[in-house]
Amino acid sequence: MTPYARRGVHGQTVEALARRILGGDIPEGATLDLVALQSELDVSLTALRESLKVLAAKGMVDARQKRGTFVRARSDWNLLDADVLRWQFEGGSTGDADRALLRDLAEVRAIIEPAAVRLAAERRDDTDVAALEAAVAAMAEDTGAPHAVEADLAFHRALLSATHNELLERMEMVIESGLAHRDRIVHSSPHGEDPVPAHRAVLDAVRERDPDAAEAAMRALLDQAGRDLDRVSGDDDTEGRHPQ
């Protein structure tokens, strides 16, 4: 499913409501005052209702007779939805909550990516290798944070694509939202381990169709990613900046 895009007033309204809910400004269980929100957001009631339908589809809100529209419990939210993840990372969570979400992401990656890279090593074709090579080459270019982040995302996207497993390929929507946020945090700090050798080791193992080496290289890459994030988060005496 394609992530929800920002589309004019409707898109802005969806994002504004989502971030208020995710940030706790509109708490779980709260009944929404649609008239007040309509006035505050300066949108039509129709636009507001259409925006709430988007959030309802993601499990965040619901409506009942006599109760009206209300925020559902967090346990009902589709937390694996790419938009819900993005909204949390882009402003819905801060401080300890943000770090907890990044920790959860790291654990998910540690489960998915070592297994995925084994499949990639077994199933990759020349197009897959070319995509991985292009991403590593772009990563080696010192052209600023946005470029570095996109190169890293392109690498992990290509890696999942190389599994030739449609469900694993869709996991990019889960991983990318958090990975982009993590990359921006890590890249904002002045010192860190060079990400290129770790990614090149994964590429080399996939190219050589060596699943064991590919898995070992991916685990080493994820360990490095964790070290860099720990430094930026203040869990280490030094600081890191590179995305993994």
The answer to whether 80 and 69 are in contact (CB under 8 A) is: no
pLDDT in tens, 66-76: 899 999 999 99
pLDDT of residue 234: 62
Among the residue ranges 42-56, 83-97, 100-114, 193-207, the one predicted with the least confidence is 83-97
Mean pLDDT of the chain: 86
- Residues with Cβ within 8 Å of 18's Cβ and at least 6 positions away in sequence, in order, are 55, 60, 83, 84, 87, 92
pLDDT of residue 166: 95
In this predicted structure, the answer to whether residue 223 has a pLDDT above a threshold of 60 is yes
Distances in Å between the Cα of 73 and the Cα atoms of 22, 61, 62, 63 are 11, 9, 10, 13
pLDDT of residue 235: 47
pLDDT in tens, 16-38: 999 999 989 999 999 999 999 99
- Nearest CA to 205 out of 152, 149, 136 is that of 136
pLDDT of residue 92: 46
The answer to whether 83 and 21 are in contact (CB under 8 A) is: no
The span from the first CA to the last CA of the chain, in angstroms, equals: 25
- Which sign does the torsion angle of CA 195, 132, 115, 210 carry? negative
The answer to whether 201 and 215 are in contact (CB under 8 A) is: no
The answer to whether 183 and 225 are in contact (CB under 8 A) is: no
In this predicted structure, the answer to whether residue 100 has a pLDDT above a threshold of 90 is no
DSSP E strands in the chain: the ranges are: 61-64, 68-71
pLDDT of residue 1: 44
The stretch 133-144 carries a mean pLDDT of 88
In this predicted structure, the answer to whether residue 112 has a pLDDT above a threshold of 90 is yes
- Nearest CA to 112 out of 23, 173, 199, 55 is that of 173
pLDDT of residue 241: 39
- Residues with Cβ within 8 Å of 85's Cβ and at least 6 positions away in sequence, in order, are 79, 174, 177, 178
